[in-house]
Amino acid sequence: MRALEDLPRNARNSILLEPLWAVFATPLLYYAPLYMSSVGLSGTQIGVLGSLGLALSFVFQALAGPVTNRVGRKRTTLWGDLISWTAPMFVWAFAQSFAAFAVAAALNASNRIVGVSWSLLVIEDVQERHRARVFAILNLLVTGCGLLTPLVGLVMAGHGVTPTLRALYFAGGIGMTVMFVWRNALTSETVSGVAARAQHRELGVLQSLRHSLAEVAGMRGHPGLMGVTAFYVLTVFLEQLSLFQILFLGRTLHFSAQALSYVPVAGVAVTVLLYALVLPRLAALPVTRALVLTRALGLVGAVALLFVPAGQLGVMLLVVSLLGGATFLTQTYRDAALFARLPGQGAADLYSAVQTLALLCSVPAAALAGAVFTASPRALFVLIAGVSALLLALAVWLARRDPRPTA
């Protein structure tokens, strides 16, 4: 609680309530490919669903800035969460076909709107020097809920993958709804959100969209934003390629569902250590230099995954934990670097624009991953190692061009 004392109301209350979302989302997102496979979907179908979700997300992302500005950060977050999380949770709970999963993917894709509104609701009123800490705490909480995955794994071992995850999806629909309404009662519109609503209130929908596009067109006028945007886009592309990691560990390296349930637990241990021991030391570095270190760690992990012996649980957990730690640090400093370069006016539009570009470039990633994985699982992770190397090179370039001496 002491770590939250100097944070404004929105950030503090959002952090306190985040576990009520993550306790369901973390294990369900982790086991999602396994769940889809258990009801009969092929690797190609799973990849197509991923690309379908990204394609629809692109449409919703284009609307995220105008909707957030017109409706407000707070109201958009409430209604967006109910549509993009509560509704698909219940669809997933009863899904038995590709069509049902496609409907759930379409609903969940609308979370691209709430992704903008929620991020701004949480972070806009936070001082820049505290933003990396807020992102780190939120990421830590989400990762920490991975401790539940072994319990879910034990239940799956006794009752089966499909019935266990159906029950968890249904419970998640109820639990998340409670959390969304509660958080809405404890947060308030941000200062920038009030100003944006006043500015966009008199504009029609098309006028609001044109205004947002005008803000995006001026992206080059904000120093460093283009480079950080490129880094952001490539990390999202890498995340989509990595969706098949659990299937690679299970099908190719022959680890059981119970063994795979320990992966998030190891990730939690590494994340806690990074938060307690590494983040305080990296705080003295410029954000872009911290990104170089995190991506070097990610490249080492991506290459090491190719050499994990089949069935060697200890080695697998060590390598996957290394990758999880790199992802945690990358997301923390990537988001801090991006928000540091967003202006107070037009932040919703520019943040939405960055995510839109990320989606546009990542639409083929899931389908590509599915096709490559079906042809050769190991080839997919060679590709992931290559993208990791490219990210490291981009991080080095950003660090060399960053004129600021401190984070």
pLDDT in tens, the chain (407 residues): 566 777 888 999 999 999 999 999 988 988 898 899 889 888 788 888 887 887 888 788 778 878 888 888 999 999 999 999 999 999 999 999 999 999 999 999 999 899 889 988 998 888 877 777 888 888 888 877 877 888 888 898 889 889 999 999 999 999 999 999 999 999 999 888 788 777 766 655 555 556 555 655 555 556 567 788 889 889 988 988 887 888 888 888 888 877 887 887 887 788 778 877 787 777 777 888 889 999 999 999 999 999 999 888 899 999 998 898 888 888 888 887 887 777 656 666 677 777 777 767 776 777 788 888 888 989 999 999 999 999 999 999 988 877 554 44
Give the integer Cα–Cα distance in Å for 190 and 184. Answer: 13
Give the integer Cα–Cα distance in Å for 136 and 122. Answer: 13
**Residue 209 belongs to what H/E stretch?**
helix 205-217
Asked if 274 and 321 touch (Cβ cutoff 8 Å), the reply is no
Q: Which class for 383: exposed (0-12), middle (13-18), buried (19 or more C-beta within 10 A)?
A: middle
Asked if 190 and 118 touch (Cβ cutoff 8 Å), the reply is no
Domain residue ranges of the chain, discontinuous segments joined by +: 10-401
In the prediction, which pLDDT does 406 show? 42
Give the residue from 135, 150, 96 showing the smallest Cα distance to 317. Answer: 150
Model pTM score:
0.66
Return all residues near 307 (Cβ < 8 A) that are at least 6 apart.
Answer: none
In the prediction, which pLDDT does 132 show? 76
Asked if 332 and 143 touch (Cβ cutoff 8 Å), the reply is no
Q: What CATH number belongs to 10-401?
A: 1.20.1250.20
Write the CA distances from 234 to 193, 226, 311, 347, integer angstroms: 29, 13, 31, 21
Give the DSSP letter of residue 84.
I
Give the residue from 167, 175, 168 showing the smallest Cα distance to 20. Answer: 175
Give the residue from 117, 50, 135 showing the smallest Cα distance to 368. Answer: 50
Return the structure tokens found at 2.
Answer: 């002491």
Return the structure tokens found at 212.
Answer: 């947002």
Return the structure tokens found at 19.
Answer: 């576990």
Give the integer Cα–Cα distance in Å for 325 and 322. Answer: 5
Write the CA distances from 297 to 89, 260, 294, 315, integer angstroms: 34, 22, 5, 16
Give the integer Cα–Cα distance in Å for 234 and 384. Answer: 11
Return the structure tokens found at 180.
Answer: 């969304």
In the prediction, which pLDDT does 74 show? 93
